[in-house]
Structure 1
């Protein structure tokens, strides 16, 4: 499959220049069809054949393997969640925080990476430190200072405000040297560039499939490093997270599946697995190269309005507008879908994926 074939599976692309994947992507037809087929079989045929529960349980494991393979890790390290926010909340609530523990985050974080720890601060008396950045960039010396006595560092892999790619591997090394664990909000990375979670070295990684992975809402993932999982204390329990649901005493599963609870629909994750297969058929190197070419064109056309880095780092391109909300509304009327941002001031963001075209980019520039 090439990017043109991928685009042909997405009906919305014939209607508008859709440049808002960093918020949520439209799903390709095969993704929606795979979910529909799964639901129909599960309700119409599985009761008389595989069985409703065995069919679901086999599906959980199959999609776990697909997600793990795509992210360069093992199935045991992957838990199935509904969203990035759920994964972050699971980790936040499973750490045995003590009063005075230090949590460090950057000023680039999405509310999904802020609210769970604000709640933990209220509950446990944490000290929350916010590392200030400049134009979406971290100063690693400042990071060393602020994490020197930290319990946890929570950070995004790509800033949702500037589209900057943050140096995850270097950050993890610095935090670990200081004795801090690291949680990465990865929602803006998988699907637009190759990702190998093992090479990142983070203790925890949360993400979701409804952005660059082209999957549906409701299909997230949580990675926990094998040598870190026993440092967590799950606060929730369900029969999917234990070795023997009828055994006494209960025993949590060895891997990240211990955080899964009970009867949730596998359909969204079926859609995500199908979306991953589609992206792999295009090839992640090809996806990234196309995003780079298209963002280069957009950045050149934006000129001095550009807020994001001039050189390629991601498909997120933020630019200045006098009235962001009005600009986004006017662009929508012209058939171009982008979004305003709460920061930096006066910012509008376009998200460029491999299914986009030169015509999409030029349509945005002409409308501006």
Structure 2
């Protein structure tokens, strides 16, 4: 499949959509998969009097699809509602003690900040590591993780579009005795997720951005599921309801799942994964790079992201926040969708292989 085939399957009525890093529009075939799954569950599964058994089969199929995407095994995959949901489930699985330390970077999305801020109320200390230019300050990171219980950071910075060195950061954290939680939501659909090579304890992501799924389907990789007894708990986490000692968790990552979810977002996630496999990650990256470079060339010294493209996230400096907001509004009036990010005066375009050259040209004309 060619990226242009996917682009043709996304009708946005003339809008140049360059905000995939926030939410990606699903191709029509992904939307059809969601609708058809919802109907099968509401009609076929209920007519057989086994809607729960049918749902279990579909969730299992989704874990298998996600495991293939991550190059891991289904037993290490838990289904979640979103990345933020996955982070919160991890936060609620750790047996925190007053005096524990959480380390995060200054690049985190609120999803990677709020759970730890809440834990301050229970005596947890939160340390923040600077990442100038979207890179780890390695000396500051080593110092911060010393004595930490858990470290949380992005795989790709949602500000700069840079790839952080996940393997290095995980190794350093583990040497210090800390757990590692990676927010990888900017990766699916535009970058590989080699979770086994990363060796992190947890990796969370979702399918509604670059992957082109729909809202409501996330996932969490758990390296050592049996180690955890999550407090965010529901019947989906339980293996044996008749066991004398409850809760009798599943022996795998399903212990991080909770309860009844709609099947539609997970059917969409499977279809979105199939679309990307049909196109191929190398093809996606090659086409995306060419489009990104066209934007970068027009930006000149306003470019904040690396000159050598690392992702489809292209940040540029408009000088001050009101100017950035004004540019976003001007672009919206021209049916070109980008966004500002919480850095003084920055605007971010998210360029995908599924964009067209004309999409990029329309942004360049505004620059």
TM over 0.5: yes
Tell me if the contact between 1:149 and 1:180 (Cα under 8 Å) persists in the aligned partners.
Answer: yes
- Cα deviation digits, residues 309-344 of structure 1 (max 9, x gap): 11111110001124111110100111210001111x
Moved more, 293-302 or 1-10: 293-302
The 5 Å alignment of 1:168-317 reads: 168-226=166-224, 229-250=225-246, 251-317=248-314
Q: So what's the TM-score if we normalise by structure 2?
A: 0.96
Tell me if the contact between 1:93 and 1:235 (Cα under 8 Å) persists in the aligned partners.
Answer: yes
Residue 141 of structure 1 is matched in structure 2 by: 139
Q: Using the alignment, how far apart are the partners of 2:350 and 2:162 within structure 1?
A: 13
Tell me if the contact between 1:215 and 1:271 (Cα under 8 Å) persists in the aligned partners.
Answer: yes
Tell me if the contact between 1:187 and 1:207 (Cα under 8 Å) persists in the aligned partners.
Answer: yes
- Cα deviation digits, residues 196-242 of structure 1 (max 9, x gap): 2111110011111111111000000011102xx34433113222111
With over 3 angstroms needed to count, the CA separation of the structure-2 counterparts of 1:219 and 1:207, relative to structure 1, is same
SS of aligned partner of 1:135: helix
Q: Using the alignment, how far apart are the partners of 2:352 and 2:25 within structure 1?
A: 11
SS of aligned partner of 2:169: helix
Residue 354 of structure 2 is matched in structure 1 by: 355
Give the count of matched residue pairs.
Answer: 363
Q: Using the alignment, how far apart are the partners of 2:41 and 2:337 within structure 1?
A: 36
Q: Using the alignment, how far apart are the partners of 1:200 and 1:236 within structure 2?
A: 26
Tell me if the contact between 1:193 and 1:285 (Cα under 8 Å) persists in the aligned partners.
Answer: no
Tell me if the contact between 1:93 and 1:120 (Cα under 8 Å) persists in the aligned partners.
Answer: no
Q: Using the alignment, how far apart are the partners of 1:279 and 1:132 within structure 2?
A: 34
Deviation at 1:66, TM superposition (A): 0.4
2:77 pairs with 1:81? no
The 5 Å alignment of 1:14-25 reads: 14-25=13-24
- Cα deviation digits, residues 236-259 of structure 1 (max 9, x gap): 322211112344333100111112
2:95 pairs with 1:99? no
**Structure 1 unaligned regions, length at least 5:** none
SS of aligned partner of 2:181: strand
Deviation at 1:48, TM superposition (A): 2.4
Tell me if the contact between 1:193 and 1:287 (Cα under 8 Å) persists in the aligned partners.
Answer: no
Deviation at 1:50, TM superposition (A): 7.3
SS of aligned partner of 1:104: strand
Residue 328 of structure 2 is matched in structure 1 by: 328
Tell me if the contact between 2:312 and 2:352 (Cα under 8 Å) persists in the aligned partners.
Answer: yes
Runs of at least 4 residues off by over 6 Å: none
Q: Using the alignment, how far apart are the partners of 1:143 and 1:132 within structure 2?
A: 8
**Structure 2 unaligned regions, length at least 5:** none
- Cα deviation digits, residues 112-131 of structure 1 (max 9, x gap): 000011111212x1111101
Q: Using the alignment, how far apart are the partners of 1:159 and 1:176 within structure 2?
A: 22
Deviation at 1:357, TM superposition (A): 2.0
- Cα deviation digits, residues 156-194 of structure 1 (max 9, x gap): 001111111100011111111111111000001111012
Residue 66 of structure 1 is matched in structure 2 by: 65
Residue 118 of structure 2 is matched in structure 1 by: 119
Deviation at 1:290, TM superposition (A): 1.4
- Cα deviation digits, residues 121-155 of structure 1 (max 9, x gap): 212x1111101121211122221111121111100
SS of aligned partner of 1:11: coil
Q: Using the alignment, how far apart are the partners of 1:247 and 1:126 within structure 2?
A: 34
Tell me if the contact between 2:129 and 2:137 (Cα under 8 Å) persists in the aligned partners.
Answer: no
Q: Using the alignment, how far apart are the partners of 1:175 and 1:91 within structure 2?
A: 17
